[in-house]
Amino acid sequence: MKLKDTYPLYLNNKAEQPNTDLAVTDKYTGDIAFRTALATPDVIEEAIAGAVRATEPMAKLASYEKQDVLLHCVARFKERFDELAYALCVEAGKPIKDAEGEVTRLIDTFRIAAEELVRNYGEVQPLDISARAKGYMGMWKRVPIGPCSFISPFNFPLNLAAHKIAPAIAMGCPFVMKPASKTPLGAIIMGEVLAECDVLPEGAFSILPASRDGADLFTTDERLKLLSFTGSPGVGWDLKAKAGKKKVILELGGNAAVVIDKDADLDDALERVVFGAFYQSGQSCIGVQRILIHAAIYDRFKAMLVEKTKTLVAGDPKDRDTFIGPMISEDEATRLKGWIDEAVQAGATLLCGGGLSRGNMLEATLLENVPEGAKARDEEAFGPLAILGRFDDFDAVLNEVNNSRFGLQAGIFTRNLFQMFDAWDRLDVGGIVINDVPSYRVDNMPYGGVKDSGLGREGIRFAMEDMSEIRNLIVRRG
């Protein structure tokens, strides 16, 4: 399979090729894979103006018309499955099996949105709760919030864009999207498919690769009523500070912990923990970073984990045997290599990995005895690194999970029902996964974090609620 040499941006539903200024590399070879147009501030301004013009006609679309658009996308994504997976493999360096899994989730997300939009109910509410309200009744419904701004990251270029685009269409909100400059092609292909839908009014969508410096309008323009950003905490909270009066949804980082209690099925936990720590080279905000193991099984599970990690195949992501592919850039790989070396110098033990080759191929790495204050422990690694810790008291290990400025998801391997509920009550995270890793997500569930991990929730129904406002109708009878 071969990609095109150049790709357009999408401005007010139409493909435009004002330039070919953005060169996107094959993350494994480093060669330029294709070029795409880069949106300038005047193009972004035109897109926002188009979204404003499309606000009323988008809101007037019937449910069946929006559902037809989403189901068209589902059908076309299935037809273009191999192309979408290959594009991910090239532009993101994602191993082909992981890339195919992400295309499946893209299809699921649009299908779920098509189902949820016809369940967008309101409510009839009795208001006669006291004598002064006798004869009054109320009703409310959800209406589109208006033009939305979306900024998506490089690590899941299809699925994380889909979690913004699909609910916007379902709710009837026009949008402008900035995909990550390192991985714009997935969103561009989504734009190509949406452009086939004549029912969408002009201005319903714009897909605009843009430099970070030139994209301030995505955040600051007051005509946009919602900003949804997925990316790093530093960038996300800075954007929120600049966003003005618009609603802001932030899906940010994490250094997720998984607890392996003494009653866990160790063979099952091993398979899931290795996957959670190292799939797509650890570049996931809910990837396993902290592995907390009960003292009674610590040595045994550590030995199993090191042995399994050493067997992971690293190499060309286009090879179906590859599990560890390249990191997104040499800079990111060098950063994380520096964190590993820093932790070792501070007293941590390197159990396996730690090597860097080809510029951005970092080995799957396990550390233990990492001291508090080391970046490898306290910050988001966002790469193929996990650290081991020991515990002998379940209450104490819950406190250790909470000992982080992040709070996205956590995993607990236990068969103890009471401990499961204790974790649910006490862990300061957005979601707890029992007998699996924190890296698990299904696309219809509420998803998001607390503390520095974000603000608000994704998941189609929950995103639709964020992209809407409640409009009341109050009736006085008699």
Give yes or no for a contact between 200 and 191, defined as CB atoms under 8 angstroms apart. Answer: no
Structure tokens at 429: 């995270």
Q: Tell me the mean pLDDT in the region 121-146.
A: 95
What are 36-46's pLDDT values in tens digits?
999 999 999 99
Q: Tell me the mean pLDDT in the region 14-41.
A: 98
What are 400-421's pLDDT values in tens digits?
999 999 999 999 999 999 999 9
Q: Tell me the mean pLDDT in the region 327-355.
A: 98
Pairing of strands 385-391, 290-294: parallel
Confidence label for 213 from pLDDT (cuts 50, 70 and 90): confident
Confidence label for 23 from pLDDT (cuts 50, 70 and 90): very high
DSSP 133: G
Q: Tell me the mean pLDDT in the region 175-194.
A: 98
Give yes or no for a contact between 147 and 224, defined as CB atoms under 8 angstroms apart. Answer: yes
* Contacts with 406 (C-beta within 8 Å, 6 or more apart), sequence order: 233, 253, 254, 255, 256, 380, 449, 451, 452, 453
pTM recorded for the entire structure:
0.96
Burial category of 226 from C-beta neighbours within 10 Å (exposed 0-12, middle 13-18, buried 19 and up): buried
Q: Would you please indicate which residues are annotated as catalytic (active-site) residues?
A: 251, 285
What are 436-476's pLDDT values in tens digits?
999 999 999 999 999 999 999 999 999 999 999 999 999 99
Structure tokens at 311: 């067997």
Please tell me the distance from the alpha carbon of residue 245 to that of residue 91, in angstroms, as a whole number: 35
Give yes or no for a contact between 287 and 256, defined as CB atoms under 8 angstroms apart. Answer: yes
pLDDT for position 212: 79
Mean pLDDT, the chain, rounded, equals: 97
Residue that has been written with the tokens 């658009």 in this structure = 69
What are 360-405's pLDDT values in tens digits?
999 999 999 999 999 999 999 999 999 999 999 999 999 999 999 9
Q: Tell me the mean pLDDT in the region 9-25.
A: 98
pLDDT for position 323: 98
Return the closest-CA partner of residue 109 out of 55, 54, 169.
169
Please tell me the distance from the alpha carbon of residue 331 to that of residue 420, in angstroms, as a whole number: 40
pLDDT for position 449: 97
Taking only Cα atoms into account, the Rg of the chain, rounded to an integer number of angstroms, comes to 23
What are 304-319's pLDDT values in tens digits?
999 999 999 999 999 9
Residue 214, pLDDT > 80, answer: no
pLDDT for position 61: 98
| 3-class DSSP state of 183 | coil
pLDDT for position 326: 98
Please tell me the distance from the alpha carbon of residue 275 to that of residue 245, in angstroms, as a whole number: 41
pLDDT for position 5: 97
Please tell me the distance from the alpha carbon of residue 389 to that of residue 290, in angstroms, as a whole number: 7
Confidence label for 355 from pLDDT (cuts 50, 70 and 90): very high
* Contacts with 431 (C-beta within 8 Å, 6 or more apart), sequence order: 408, 409, 410, 438, 445, 446, 447
Task: Name the region of 468 (left: φ>0; alpha: ψ -120 to 50; beta: rest).
Answer: beta
